C-alpha cells in the first residue's frame, strides 16, 4: 500500500469515527471483526483490556449487558461500562475485575505497549500483553466463550498462537481493513473456549 493511500485511509476512518461518535478509529476494527466472526451476542458480559479511550467498549456495549474495561490510562465514563484503572499484567487488577464479575462471555484485548521503534522489543512486549490477556481470558471465560487479542507479528507470535489454539476450538488470525498501513498488527480471533481450567 502506498503512503498516500495509507494516509487517505487513516483520514477516512478518523472522519468516520468523528461522524459516528466513536472515540477512536480502532472502533471500526472491532466492528469489522464482529461482522465477520460474530464474537458478541446480546446480553454478553465482556472484559475489554487496554480499553482507553473507549472505542472498543463503545462497540461492545451495543451487544453486551455489561462491559468491564481496563486500562493504565483513564477513560471517560460510558453507560453500562465499568472502568478499572489498572495494569492487566498485575494480579491486583484481576482481583479488581473479580469484584464486578465472576465470568465473561467474551474477552477482548487491544492493549499495546509504548512503541520504542526497536521492533524486536516492541513485539516481545506486545506478546507479553497477549499472554496476560489470555491468562485473564482463561480465568474468566465461560466454556464456549470468545477471545480477541491484538498482537504484533514477530518471533514470539507463533508460540502465542499455539497456546491460544490449545484453549479454543476455532482460531483465526485477522488483519482488519481499518488497520493502519500494512502494519505487523494482527488480531487473533479465538472462538469456543474449551474451559479445561474450570
Instruction: Give the residue numbers marked as catalytic.
Output: 150
190 membership: H or E segment, kind and range: strand 185-193
Nearest residue (CB) to ligand SAM, 142 versus 180: 180
Nearest residue (CB) to ligand SAM, 85 versus 194: 85
CA-CA distance, 28 to 51, in Å (whole number)? 14
Nearest distance from C-beta of residue 19 to ligand SAM, angstroms: 16
Residue sitting closest to ligand SAM (CB): 55
Contact 82, 71 (CB under 8 A): no
Q: Is 51 helix (H, G, I), strand (E, B) or coil?
A: coil
Of 75-94, binders to ligand SAM (CB under 6 A) are 87-89
CA-CA distance, 63 to 2, in Å (whole number)? 36
**Does 137 participate in binding ligand SAM (rule CB under 6 A)?**
no
Pairing of strands 185-193, 141-152: antiparallel
Nearest distance from C-beta of residue 50 to ligand SAM, angstroms: 3
List of residues contacting ligand SAM (CB under 6 A): 23-24, 26-27, 50-56, 70-73, 87-89, 110-113, 129
Amino acid at each position: 500500500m502506498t503512503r498516500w493511500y495509507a494516509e487517505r485511509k487513516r483520514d477516512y476512518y478518523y472522519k468516520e469515527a468523528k461522524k459516528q461518535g466513536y472515540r477512536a478509529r480502532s472502533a471500526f476494527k472491532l466492528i469489522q471483526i464482529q461482522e465477520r466472526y460474530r464474537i458478541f451476542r446480546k446480553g454478553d458480559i465482556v472484559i475489554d483490556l487496554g480499553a482507553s479511550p473507549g472505542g472498543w467498549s463503545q462497540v461492545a456495549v451495543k451487544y453486551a449487558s455489561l462491559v468491564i474495561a481496563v486500562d493504565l490510562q483513564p477513560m471517560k465514563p460510558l453507560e453500562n461500562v465499568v472502568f478499572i484503572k489498572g495494569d492487566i499484567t498485575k494480579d491486583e487488577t484481576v482481583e479488581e475485575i473479580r469484584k464486578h464479575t465472576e465470568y465473561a462471555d467474551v474477552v477482548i484485548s487491544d492493549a499495546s505497549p509504548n512503541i520504542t521503534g526497536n521492533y524486536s522489543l516492541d513485539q516481545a512486549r506486545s506478546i507479553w500483553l497477549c499472554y496476560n490477556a489470555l491468562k485473564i481470558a482463561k480465568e474468566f471465560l465461560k466454556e464456549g466463550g470468545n477471545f480477541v487479542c491484538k498482537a504484533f507479528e514477530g518471533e514470539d507470535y507463533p508460540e502465542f498462537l499455539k497456546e491460544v489454539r490449545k484453549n479454543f476450538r476455532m482460531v483465526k488470525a485477522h488483519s482488519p481493513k481499518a488497520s493502519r498501513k500494512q502494519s505487523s498488527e494482527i488480531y487473533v480471533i479465538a472462538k469456543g473456549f474449551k474451559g479445561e481450567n474450570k
